[in-house]
């Protein structure tokens, strides 16, 4: 979070998905939210993403713990019928795999 708060528009442009049009607005919004972020941190909010201790383990962890890619398509049936695509992708990740949105050769 410190790096995000310190980044200027040029640094933000380098982040995938943020271009020259979005970067200045993001920097401005972050500056406006600075006091709110400070209050959250003072109240104990953590500014780091939790680490999943099971990452790299499970039935979908391939050789060398490189996760197998799984593409979820269509509608689930049987015991998985109640799960949507995002829930299935979460299950894939928890099983040590990597969710993917497209099939590659």
In which band, very low, low, confident or very high, does the pLDDT at 105 lie, cut at 50, 70 and 90? low
Q: What is the pLDDT of residues 2-33, one digit of tens each?
A: 888 889 999 988 888 888 899 999 999 989 99
Helices (H) and strands (E) in the chain, counts: 4, 2
**For residue 103, what pLDDT is reported?**
75
CA distance 13 to 93: 29
Distance in angstroms (rounded) separating the CA atoms of residues 89 and 60 = 12
More confident site: 57 or 92: 92
| Whether this model's pTM surpasses 0.75 | no
The answer to which of 20-34, 70-84, 91-105 has the lowest mean pLDDT is 91-105
Between CA 99 and CA 86 the distance in angstroms is 9
pLDDT digits (tens, 9 = 90+) for 33-54: 999 988 988 898 877 765 555 5
End-to-end CA distance of the chain: 37
């Amino acid at each position: 979070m410190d790096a995000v708060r310190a980044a200027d528009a040029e640094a933000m442009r380098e982040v995938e998905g943020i271009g020259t049009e979005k970067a200045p607005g993001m920097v401005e919004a972050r500056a406006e939210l600075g006091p709110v972020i400070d209050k959250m941190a003072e109240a104990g909010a953590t500014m780091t993403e939790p680490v999943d201790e099971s990452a790299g383990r499970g039935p979908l962890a391939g050789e060398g713990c490189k996760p197998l890619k799984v593409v979820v398509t269509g509608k689930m049936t049987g015991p998985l019928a109640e799960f949507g695509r995002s829930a299935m992708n979460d299950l894939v990740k928890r099983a040590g795999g990597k969710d993917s949105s497209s099939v590659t050769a």
